[in-house]
Structure 1
Amino acid sequence: MNCPPTKQLLAALLMLASLNILNNRQAQAELKLPAIIGDHMVLQQGQKNPLWGWAEPGEKITVSVNGQTHTTTADAKGKWKVTLDPLKVGGPYEITIKGKESITLKDVLAGEVWICSGQSNMAWPVAASNDADLEIMTANYPKIRLISVPQVGTQEPQDTFNGKWEPCTPQTVANFSAVGYFFGRQLYQTLNVPIGLIDNAWGGSAAEAWVNRKRLEEEPAFKGLMERWQQTEKNYDHDKSMAAYNKRLDQWKTAVKKAKTAGKPVPRRPRPPRNPLTGNQRPSNIYNGVLHPTIGYGIKGVIWYQGESNASRAYQYRKLFPFMIQNWRDEWNQGDFPFYWVQLADFRSEKPEPADSDWAELREAQTMTMSKLPNTGEAVIIDLGEAIDIHPKNKLDVGKRLARWALAKDYGVKIVYRSPQYKSMEVEGNKAILTFDHVGGGLDLFDINTPVGFTIAGADKKFVNASAKIIGKNKIEVWSDAVAKPASVRYGWADNPILNVQNKEGLPLTPFRTDDWTGITAGKH
């Protein structure tokens, strides 16, 4: 057929459109599952578990497992969902999903499922932690299952991701979250049930990136935060930033040649710009790209290690952190599931005299969250940090301290699980008498037999280093000859405090202050 050029073009476009429609229909018709649902997965035992996927709109879907069968119909967008009755702990089970096509999920276990979330200290892999060689070579736990969610930052909610469930082996554990693995391994060794671990941590991430944007925009407390980001979204030009970077790169290459010719040190290569619009700090970016594809999957709870990126806005974190937890709980529709976090470790240079600290204020905000929400808990690791490395390598003890919370609160194991915590203060002359809760077998000391880490101030708010003495199972006396009438006592109130109080089980005393004087991060958004 001879057609004028314009008609040939039109015919070609119509053909392409027809092919696209056909391909879309075929894609819609294909029976699909999200990555979180697949072979080797662990379903949360003792509760009903949703399973979902996509098929042709109106297609009848039947899901069968272990004698139970559930039927549903795909909606107008092709999505379908069923809810399985509780499965007995163990397995392996096979799950058959039938529509016009059929999928069989194999080697499915029923046990305990936990999400391992936060920023780089949760993402930190087994391979980079203490005794990595020994830990990896012995990681043969076929009933511990692992899945990792890739880092995708977007404002568009994602339905799935590139990942799959795998049994725990030396090969699969090496790049998995060390804190998550050690937590899960302790649960497995104690409970002897299958464990499923979902690692979705993203290094450097800010808490606001993990929250539904609509919720943030509706909350007046975050007006300043959202306005700041709206300006960034309006004004940032990544192409312009890249052009400026390429110019600096060319200048650097020229400088390198000159330096080599002159026998001088080579200058440092400039860093390329990070696009904040696709990064790990923009509100809701991680919620949409990382968390959303897993929301609704049956879980027991969450462990969380984050806060470094929010330390400069610690007062805001008092509201933001519990707000984030509640957002997750609301959208998961599983009630107040357990949520346990790691308090920030000691980091940065030690200071001989009392000083303000944004990290201390962030730790305080974390501790406050336990009184704001039920089924929450804090693993204190103020004794496990490294002054020159924001990523302490001892992840084993971090995982164990989180596991104590879960074992005691969720599985009925009779162990001490909580760090001692400040309760009250009485003043007698120039001495402050402090009383503590959750002391376990009693207050104790590490390394030396005198309590260290306390500072004291009068009404002038001028803190000095203080002397201290344990005077009972749950009491400490604090004083300084420089303060006649104490108004406040602080403990561990520094980026990297020198301290040594713990309980007899070895859990460190939670850093605290008895005052509520305005801190250095107040009002920062």
Structure 2
Amino acid sequence: MSTACHRHWPQRAALATVLSMLALPVLAQSHQPDAGNRVLDALFQDHAVLQRDAPIPIWGRATPGDSVVIEFDGRRSRSRADASGHWQAELQAHRAGGPYQLSASTGSGQQQTVRDLLVGDVWLCSGQSNMELQVQRTLDSRSEIAGASDDGIRLLTVPQVGAASPQAGFGKAVAWQTLSPDSVRDFSAACYYFARELRKTVPVPMGLINAAWGGSRIQAWMSEAALRQSASYDRELDVLDTYARDPALAVRQWGTLWQDWWSQQSTTTPWAATGNGKWTAAPRQLTAWESWGVPALADFNGMLWYRTRVRLTAPQAAQPARLLLGNVDEVDQSWVNGQSVGSSYGADEPRSYALPAGLLQAGDNLIVVNALDTYRDGGMVGPAESRALLFADGSRVALDEAGWQYQIVPPAYGTPPRAPWQTAAGLSTLYNGMIAPLGRYGLRGMLWYQGESNTAEAQRYAQLLPLLRDDWRRQFGGERAWLIVQLANFGNVPTTPVESEWSQLREVQRQVANADPHSALAVAIDIGESSDIHPANKQELGRRLARAARHVAYDEALPASGPVPVSAQRQDDAVVVTFSDITGALVARGADQPIGFQLCGEAAGSCHYADARIDGRQVQLRASGSAQATPTRVRYCWGDSPVCTLYDGAPLPAGPFELPISH
């Protein structure tokens, strides 16, 4: 599967729900589940943690124009609901402690009290599947879960909901939980182990907010305003704005943009009845294309075109209808009779697209699907009964009867644009549904573990990551600590110097962290697993994140991570790399001297492994073997899953880097 979390194929909808299924799909709408007589926002409830030593923002809803009185630990604040019913207030800064009660009452008699609140440090943990990865999937998980009993750690998981516009409330109910074996089992392991480690030296309550989604791209976590600063997504964001108002129109607009992209790669129009190139019959039982026995697809990550034809009667074609495609791993762009009808992301997301009136016709109807897969299995992977045209009268016409044909898209075409409303792969969708509802909730800082889904666009990531950081700081206020997990080792272990998209993205993460005094990097290059993109050793990752936090959030005089490269200079026949932030001394693990250094020229493919020797706070490099060209760059620990052995006495590894050589 291409996404991090696999869910079972749902049972077919009952006939009674057919008519409701024919409604156009929309992303989450703004609402507050289970609001009842709630005066306080859902974030403020039993067991919550409020941020210490700073004014505390509080908000909620009441009758428009109603007065609101908020009381907390003997202190009172007042507010008034605006014309939409929203109110907000600010409590005075408070030192760490608790438990306390927080109450809100209105002039019209509404009243709410929440209990067992603590005041301490609140951390937002976000990213993709390695931040989402649960404690139960980590090393020694049975013991870790059984021992979870610290009442000073509180947990809140943000529901996974995407939205086309910023939401005032969550799409599902949320709850702060005290730490227990039951509550920690499915909570973010990286987030929990970080707080557990941090409390050893910062003994105040810790509130952990986990907002993560497996397989998500950075673009989905950024607000529209932040993305527009990049000037790369204006057309897509315009379509997303349309989608919030008129999904059917947005689907057509997006189809035009997607087809424009395709036309830059090819003169064919596979979604149309003519000009479609050469098609090959697909197996009668559609499964992941890797299992078809076709050599070209045995280990194929990329795009495949599918098409089939369905014959309809005039009464069928005249009805409202929905196209059901089942599960597609992992992105589809779909057409009916040459018109774009939908695009979705996620192997666990059954496709269901409403068809505009008049699109279907009596006789033959052409169904075309472009499927993009970037990881492991790919294609139309749902059971045959999941693919059908579903009509308003409850009848169905199977899509597989006439058989499917396919075309392989050359890898050189690259990756197509993603529909901006896709949840984890879209634009602003996860910000709108998962970050915007957090409002101005008080935070000490943020942990960011993401990038696996953006490794093919490191140059763009270099622009987006600082925009994301600044975007969230504007929302939550101040120069909040920003902790970045550098991507762990995963994939092939190199035997010769190689170019690596994963390394390029790691270098971006390093540079962004280094450029900001309130940011720090947690190096994970030695605690990944070459055969598993979700390494289980989140305990050590938590230790490194806690150390980084102690440096940037608590001003401790200790290095934030392991040895940091400062410069690379030519000295006689050697290149000398100087390091700072060393605890103790530089050491090589497993050999007399470190391995993993490369000397490179300007061109790609010009790197050679170097002989390295530790000399105090420096590493001296000399060309190895027949490498005679004058190097201009030093690379260390480069590759998807490199072997690199330079550490300090903490013990922490020197992370991957690339530096120009100066004279």
Is the structural similarity TM-score above 0.5?
yes
- Identify the residue that residue 124 of structure 2 maps to in structure 1: 115
Identify the structure with the greater helix proportion: 1
Q: Which moved more, 1:110-119 or 1:434-443?
A: 434-443
Could you say if the C-alpha distance between residues 275 and 486 of structure 1 is closer, same or farther in structure 2, counting changes exceeding 3 Å? closer
- Gapped runs of 5+ residues in structure 1? 1-23, 257-273, 517-525
User: How high is the sequence identity, in percent, across the aligned residues?
Assistant: 34
Alpha-carbon contact 1:30-1:54 (below 8 Å) kept: no
Distance (Å, rounded) in 1 between the aligned partners of 2:386 and 2:67: 62
Q: 3-state SS of the aligned residue for 1:449? A: coil
1:238 aligns with 2:350: no
Q: 3-state SS of the aligned residue for 1:200? A: strand
Q: 3-state SS of the aligned residue for 2:200? A: helix
- Identify the residue that residue 6 of structure 1 maps to in structure 2: none
User: Which amino acid in structure 1 is aligned with residue 474 of structure 2?
Assistant: D
Could you say if the C-alpha distance between residues 87 and 251 of structure 1 is closer, same or farther in structure 2, counting changes exceeding 3 Å? closer
- Identify the residue that residue 657 of structure 2 maps to in structure 1: 512
- Identify the residue that residue 320 of structure 1 maps to in structure 2: 464
Pick one of 120, 130, 145 that aligns with 1:136.
145
Pick one of 559, 571, 574 that aligns with 1:431.
574
Q: 3-state SS of the aligned residue for 1:237? A: strand
- Identify the residue that residue 643 of structure 2 maps to in structure 1: 498
Distance (Å, rounded) in 2 between the aligned partners of 1:215 and 1:343: 22
1:116, distance to aligned residue in structure 2 (A) = 0.7
Alpha-carbon contact 1:430-1:486 (below 8 Å) kept: no
| C-alpha RMSD over aligned residues | 2.8
Distance (Å, rounded) in 1 between the aligned partners of 2:386 and 2:622: 57
Pick one of 48, 55, 73 that aligns with 1:41.
48
Q: 3-state SS of the aligned residue for 1:147? A: strand
Distance (Å, rounded) in 1 between the aligned partners of 2:381 and 2:578: 61
1:421 aligns with 2:564: yes
1:347-368 alpha-carbon deviations (Å, 9 max, x no partner): 1011201111100000011011
User: Which amino acid in structure 2 is aligned with residue 76 of structure 1?
Assistant: A
Say how many residue pairs are matched: 472
Q: 3-state SS of the aligned residue for 1:217? A: helix
Pick one of 602, 627, 637 that aligns with 1:483.
627
1:311-346 alpha-carbon deviations (Å, 9 max, x no partner): 1000111110001110111122x2111010100001
Q: 3-state SS of the aligned residue for 1:427? A: strand
- Identify the residue that residue 259 of structure 1 maps to in structure 2: none
Could you say if the C-alpha distance between residues 158 and 492 of structure 1 is closer, same or farther in structure 2, counting changes exceeding 3 Å? same
1:188, distance to aligned residue in structure 2 (A) = 1.9
Alpha-carbon contact 1:42-1:113 (below 8 Å) kept: yes
User: Which amino acid in structure 2 is aligned with residue 295 of structure 1?
Assistant: G
1:449, distance to aligned residue in structure 2 (A) = 2.1
User: Which amino acid in structure 1 is aligned with residue 342 of structure 2?
Assistant: H
- Identify the residue that residue 220 of structure 2 maps to in structure 1: 209
1:113-512 pair list within 5 angstroms: 113-161=122-170, 162-222=173-233, 234-235=254-255, 237-238=341-342, 242=352, 249-250=383-384, 277-332=421-476, 334-458=477-601, 462-484=606-628, 485-512=630-657
Distance (Å, rounded) in 2 between the aligned partners of 1:232 and 1:370: 40
1:71, distance to aligned residue in structure 2 (A) = 0.9
1:39, distance to aligned residue in structure 2 (A) = 0.9
Distance (Å, rounded) in 2 between the aligned partners of 1:429 and 1:227: 57
Q: 3-state SS of the aligned residue for 1:277? A: coil
User: Which amino acid in structure 1 is aligned with residue 179 of structure 2?
Assistant: C
Could you say if the C-alpha distance between residues 190 and 228 of structure 1 is closer, same or farther in structure 2, counting changes exceeding 3 Å? same
- Identify the residue that residue 99 of structure 2 maps to in structure 1: 92
Alpha-carbon contact 2:230-2:463 (below 8 Å) kept: no
Alpha-carbon contact 1:348-1:387 (below 8 Å) kept: yes
Distance (Å, rounded) in 2 between the aligned partners of 1:453 and 1:128: 30
Distance (Å, rounded) in 1 between the aligned partners of 2:164 and 2:90: 29
1:476-506 alpha-carbon deviations (Å, 9 max, x no partner): 3343242333322211111111110011112
Distance (Å, rounded) in 2 between the aligned partners of 1:32 and 1:192: 32
Distance (Å, rounded) in 2 between the aligned partners of 1:489 and 1:402: 27
Distance (Å, rounded) in 2 between the aligned partners of 1:458 and 1:57: 67
1:221, distance to aligned residue in structure 2 (A) = 5.0
1:138-175 alpha-carbon deviations (Å, 9 max, x no partner): 00011210000011111122222221101000110000
Could you say if the C-alpha distance between residues 122 and 316 of structure 1 is closer, same or farther in structure 2, counting changes exceeding 3 Å? same
Distance (Å, rounded) in 2 between the aligned partners of 1:452 and 1:247: 44
1:67, distance to aligned residue in structure 2 (A) = 1.4
User: Which amino acid in structure 2 is aligned with residue 367 of structure 1?
Assistant: R
- Gapped runs of 5+ residues in structure 2? 1-30, 241-249, 256-339, 345-350, 354-366, 370-379, 388-397, 401-417
Alpha-carbon contact 2:419-2:426 (below 8 Å) kept: no
1:227, distance to aligned residue in structure 2 (A) = 8.7
Could you say if the C-alpha distance between residues 310 and 32 of structure 1 is closer, same or farther in structure 2, counting changes exceeding 3 Å? same
1:216, distance to aligned residue in structure 2 (A) = 1.4
- Identify the residue that residue 5 of structure 1 maps to in structure 2: none
Distance (Å, rounded) in 1 between the aligned partners of 2:233 and 2:507: 20
Could you say if the C-alpha distance between residues 491 and 239 of structure 1 is closer, same or farther in structure 2, counting changes exceeding 3 Å? closer
1:459, distance to aligned residue in structure 2 (A) = 5.5
User: Which amino acid in structure 1 is aligned with residue 117 of structure 2?
Assistant: V
1:251, distance to aligned residue in structure 2 (A) = 8.3
1:226, distance to aligned residue in structure 2 (A) = 5.8
Alpha-carbon contact 2:578-2:617 (below 8 Å) kept: no
Could you say if the C-alpha distance between residues 292 and 239 of structure 1 is closer, same or farther in structure 2, counting changes exceeding 3 Å? closer
User: Which amino acid in structure 2 is aligned with residue 36 of structure 1?
Assistant: L
Could you say if the C-alpha distance between residues 431 and 233 of structure 1 is closer, same or farther in structure 2, counting changes exceeding 3 Å? farther
1:460, distance to aligned residue in structure 2 (A) = 5.9
Distance (Å, rounded) in 2 between the aligned partners of 1:228 and 1:362: 29
Alpha-carbon contact 1:111-1:196 (below 8 Å) kept: yes
Distance (Å, rounded) in 1 between the aligned partners of 2:500 and 2:468: 24
Distance (Å, rounded) in 1 between the aligned partners of 2:84 and 2:533: 46
Q: 3-state SS of the aligned residue for 1:191? A: coil
Distance (Å, rounded) in 2 between the aligned partners of 1:228 and 1:123: 29
1:28, distance to aligned residue in structure 2 (A) = 10
Could you say if the C-alpha distance between residues 463 and 412 of structure 1 is closer, same or farther in structure 2, counting changes exceeding 3 Å? closer
Q: 3-state SS of the aligned residue for 2:653? A: coil
1:447, distance to aligned residue in structure 2 (A) = 2.3
